């Protein structure tokens, strides 16, 4: 017997947690935690867009948009494909849709 050995606070069992996994999760969330990047995720979940299109929608210069997109690509959120002089970005991480739905249901809706 005795699974916890110390402090009998009558709680429904403490969840286990690998510290490394929390760090990795925090990294990705940090990447998501920027208004422009959230908007870009929302847009790209609805289709393909170029750097310039995303920049214009977000009212920021192209090079700033490019840096945000690079950050998110590093996280595995997006991939990019060049077509002529344009570069199209698209969602690569399947869980982004779920997470964005959670965020939208809390902040972008009733």
- The residue ranges that bind DNA (CB under 7 A) are 30, 34, 36, 50-52, 55, 60-64, 66-71, 80, 82, 84-87
> By CB under 8 A, is residue 98 in contact with its own copies?
yes
Cβ partners under 8 Å of residue 74, min gap 6: 31
Instruction: State in angstroms the smallest separation of the CB of 6 from its own copies.
Output: 10
Instruction: State the binding string over 32-71 for its own copies (x if CB under 8 A, else -).
Output: xxxxxxxx--xx--xxx----x---x--------------
| Assigned token pair, 92 | 């690569």
Distance CA 57, CA 46 (A): 14
> By CB under 8 A, is residue 74 in contact with its own copies?
no
- Yes or no: say if 90 and 96 are a contact pair by the CB < 8 Å rule: no
| Assigned token pair, 23 | 């760090």
């Amino acid at each position: 017997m005795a699974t916890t050995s110390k402090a009998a606070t009558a709680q429904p069992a403490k969840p286990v947690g690998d510290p490394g996994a929390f760090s990795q999760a925090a990294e990705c969330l940090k990447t998501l935690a920027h208004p422009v990047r959230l908007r870009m995720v929302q847009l790209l979940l609805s289709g393909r867009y170029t750097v310039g299109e995303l920049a214009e929608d977000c009212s920021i210069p192209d090079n700033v948009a490019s840096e945000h997109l690079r950050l998110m690509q590093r996280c595995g959120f997006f991939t990019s494909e060049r077509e002529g002089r344009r570069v199209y970005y698209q969602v690569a991480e399947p869980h982004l849709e779920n997470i964005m739905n959670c965020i939208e249901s809390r902040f972008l809706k009733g």
